[in-house]
A and B are shown apart, each in its own frame.
Chain A
Amino acid sequence: MSDALLTLLKWCLLALMYLFFFRVLQATWLGSTTNVAVRRVTKARPGRSKKQARPAAAPSSSMVVLEPSHLAGRQFNIMGETTIGRAAGCQISLDDTYMSQLHARISPTGSGLLIEDLGSTNGTYVNRQKVTAPVIGESGDRVQLGGIVMELR
């Protein structure tokens, strides 16, 4: 058997292995490793006239801190399920006296960010309404967690 063929096979094997890794990385990057249920919530919103309706902008995917002032302007891009709290183990770990260790969870969905309170002591508020069941927030909505106020972008 010619050496050329064997060398070719050797390179072919290595190339295929790295192609495998490329596909793994690509799939991980695109977030399609699990069928994360990204479903559009197409419910008509009550009490909203056409005039008020915002142009169909891209669903919100980031949060910007408005208060307190020393954190103001910090932006968090929500790429996947994100926990917010005082604990160092949270993806977004913010030091605020009124925030619980594990305060809330934010997950991206097709129609905006899904906000869930995780049994925090001082509660999570979206536009000053207490979050008792998970809600979907849109761009411009304000979320308050303890003493921290963030705006969805």
Chain B
Amino acid sequence: MRARSVELVLLILATFVTVVGFVTIGLVQAEAGDVNFDLRDDVTGFLLVVVGLLLGAHIMIRLFAPLADAMLFPCAALLNGLGYVMISRLDQGLADSQSAWTFMGVAAFCLVLLVLRDPRRLEPYRYTLAVVGVGLLLLPLVPGLGATINGARIWLRVGPFSIQPGEFAKVVLAAFLAGYLVDKRELLTLTGRRIGPLHVPHARHFGPLLLAWGVALMVMTAERDLGSSLLFFTLFVVMFYVATARAAYVFSGLVLFMAGAVLSWRMFSHVQRRVDIWLDPFADAKGSGFQIAEAAFALADGGLTGTGLGQGTPKKIPYAATDMIFAAFGEELGLLGASALLMTFMFFVAAGFRVATNARSPFEKLLAAGFTALIGFQAFIIIAGILRVLPLTGVTLPFVSYGGSSLISNYIILAVLMRISHNSTEQRAEELDEIERSGHSLNVSARARSDWKAVAR
């Protein structure tokens, strides 16, 4: 059980990080007289919850996916823990619901691990998945069900909760893309015509994919959810590249993206505003550029090691607990802390791609690659937006930001990755066993060996 003991050590370290963060914030807030913070009781309670959650999930992994990769879960746990600490520092009310969401996320993780024993069984349901995915995307547009929050109509009101079905749609659509591309990748690479350096596949094979992509993009544009459109488009290009290994698709994807970007810039005033803010947030630093300008100030204020948790002023940044949480980390933990977050994502993505390369079936390979790309690019899009590498588009920072739908869907992705990892390792072990049993290990006998040597001389 080497992988699991590595995982346990990493989980203990992640718990330490989270608890030290929690203690720091408690001490600072008690000093300021904001809350009653009892070092012993509060920390014990928090520690019990964190340890209970992580240990519970760890035991589930030991029971149901003991051969899975050891990096994935601890990275997610560290991100989730740090995120919770920062959210509780920004807004205690949000933190309380975030802890409920975390419970549900871990429960979803365990459930998927338990139920989905063989991800390949999803493969035949590719078109069902496409319909479900697009349906989830369309759901907020249904009158009476959907709700508009902050100009984006991507929410569902169900009782006291608001759910973002788009977060789940991304997962489902990635699974659809994986199933579809596995089925059609040969047709996509081998048939069709060549136009210059570009390979254009037959419309018959390409059509449904383009259609699904178009519908999803249109829906997202109608809902004014720029971040998700960008993410979905990137996912599309990445999975296409992984399936066909043709760089021409990446190139044409970029061209399509440029065209789409210019077109939407021409057509929509809210896109133009985003670009203007991106190019010069300080032109209207108190108005439209406020968010990015404040984020820039926060990052500058953080310096190398930050102001220390609870001692900066990240509350000034609008949406600090959701989209802008990276800026809050930059301020309070500095360059070192912010890079630590980036590195955790890097390790997560590296582990995810390792799972994809080791996966035994093409479908699982594509699924793992797509899910990993989803997490990686989502982190990239929002961090790049905050650092002004890209125009800011609102998506959550996976596992870190406040948001129930995002957290739960990310935990589902995590569970599927762990499942694929476990299954591929198990299968590999069985293959090796088989070789051992069949005695094929060296039926290349000593005589053949000496024969060869005689010839070689």
A10-B308, A14-B336, A129-B448 given as contacts; is B68 within 8 A of A20 (CB)? no
Q: Are B425 and A34 in contact, CB atoms less than 8 angstroms apart?
A: yes
The answer, yes or no, to whether B137 is at the interface (CB within 8 Å) is no
Chain B binding site: helix, strand, loop or mixed by DSSP? Answer: helix
User: B10 contacts A35, CB within 8 Å?
Assistant: no
Question: Counting CB contacts under 8 A, is A45 at the interface?
Answer: yes
A136 to chain B, nearest CB (A): 5
Find out whether the CB atom of B452 lies under 8 angstroms from the CB atom of A14. Answer: no
| B87 to A: closest C-beta gap in Å | 16
- Residue contact B436 to A39, C-beta cutoff 8 Å: yes
Bitwise interface map of B from 44 to 86 toward A, beta carbon under 8 Å scored 1, else 0: 0000000000000000000000111111001100100000000
Q: Does A75 contact B (CB under 8 A)?
A: no
Q: Is A20's CB under 8 angstroms from B10's CB?
A: yes
| Cross-chain contact B27 with A129 (CB below 8 angstroms) | no
Residues on the B chain within 8 Å of A109, using CB? 432
Among residues 23 to 43 in chain B, which have CB atoms less than 8 Å away from a CB atom of chain A? Answer: 23-24, 27-28, 30-31
On whether the beta carbons of A21 and B343 are closer than 8 Å, the reply is: yes
Interface flags for B258-294 (1: CB within 8 Å of A; 0: not) read 0000000000000000000000000000000000000
A129 and B432 in contact, given A17-B17, A23-B13 (Cβ under 8 angstroms): no
Q: Which of B1-35 contact A (CB under 8 A)?
A: 1-3, 6, 9-10, 13-14, 16-17, 20-21, 23-24, 27-28, 30-31
Q: Report the stretch among B113-121, B196-204, B365-373, B438-446 that lies at the interface.
A: B438-446
- Assess A34 versus B68: contact at CB under 8 Å? Given A10-B309, A45-B442, A135-B444: yes
Residues of B within 8 A of A95 (CB): none
How distant is the Cα of A47 from the Cα of B455 in the complex, in angstroms?
20
Instruction: Choose among B245, B340, B347, B421 the residue that contacts A18 (Cβ–Cβ < 8 A).
Output: B340
Interface residues on A, range: 35 or more
* B3 touching A12, Cβ below 8 Å: no
The yes or no answer to B428 lying at the interface (CB within 8 A) is yes
| Interface bits A24-44 vs B (CB < 8 Å: 1, else 0) | 100110001111110101010
Decide: B358 and A34 in contact? CB cutoff 8 A.
yes
Given A17-B337, A33-B354, A34-B68, answer yes or no on A9-B446 (Cβ-Cβ < 8 Å). Answer: no
**Mask for A118-136, Cβ within 8 A of B = 1, else 0?**
0000000011110001111
From A10, A12, A133, name the one whose CB has the most chain B CB atoms within 10 angstroms: A10
B429 near A37 with CB under 8 A, answer yes
- How far apart are the CA atoms of A19 and B74 in the complex, in Å? 13
Q: Is B449 touching A141 in the complex (CB atoms < 8 A)?
A: yes
- A5 in contact (CB, < 8 A): yes
Q: Evaluate contact between B444 and A141: CB separation under 8 angstroms.
A: yes
> Nearest-CB distance from A144 to chain B (Å)?
10
Task: Tell me if A138 and B337 are in contact (CB < 8 A).
Answer: no
Q: Residue of B at shortest CB range from A91?
A: B357
Closest CB in chain B relative to A129 CB, distance in Å: 5
Task: Indicate if B435 sits at the interface (CB-CB under 8 A).
Answer: yes
The complex places the Cα of A133 from the Cα of B74 at a distance, in Å, of 38
Kindly state the separation between the CA atoms of A120 and B283 in the bound complex, as whole angstroms.
Answer: 63
A126, B444: Cβ atoms closer than 8 Å:
yes
The answer to whether the Cβ of B333 comes within 8 Å of any Cβ in the partner chain is yes
**Which of B2, B74, B421 meets A32, CB within 8 Å?**
B2
| Residue A89 is within 8 A (CB to CB) of chain B in the complex | yes
Q: Mark A78-92, 1 if CB is under 8 A from B, else 0.
A: 000100000001000
A58 within 8 Å of B (CB atoms): no
Chain A residues near B27 (CB-CB < 8 A)? 1, 5-6, 9
- Which one, A14, A33, A52, contacts B305 given CB within 8 A? A14
* Max chain B C-beta neighbours (<10 A), residue from A16, A18, A45, A140: A16
A34 to B69, CA, bound (A): 5
Q: A13-B20, A45-B446 are in contact. Are A128 and B452 (CB under 8 A)?
A: yes
Residue of A whose beta carbon sits closest to that of B9: A23
**Complex Cα distance A141/B179, Å?**
41
Q: Does B95 contact A (CB under 8 A)?
A: no
Chain A residue nearest in CB terms to B21: A13
Contacts of A69 in B (CB 8 A): none
Query: A24 with B71: in contact, given A13-B20, A14-B333, A114-B432 (CB under 8 Å)?
Result: yes
25 contacts between A and B (CB under 8 A): A1-B27, A1-B28, A1-B31, A9-B27, A10-B305, A12-B20, A13-B17, A13-B333, A13-B337, A16-B13, A16-B20, A17-B17, A20-B17, A35-B429, A36-B428, A37-B425, A41-B436, A41-B441, A45-B442, A126-B444, A127-B449, A128-B451, A129-B448, A134-B440, A135-B435
**Residues of A participating in the B interface, judged by any CB pair closer than 8 Å:** 1, 5-7, 9-14, 16-21, 23-24, 27-28, 32-37, 39, 41, 43, 45-48, 52, 81, 89, 109, 111, 114, 126-129, 133-138, 140-142
CB-CB nearest 6 A-B residue pairs = A37-B429, A10-B308, A41-B441, A48-B446, A17-B340, A127-B452
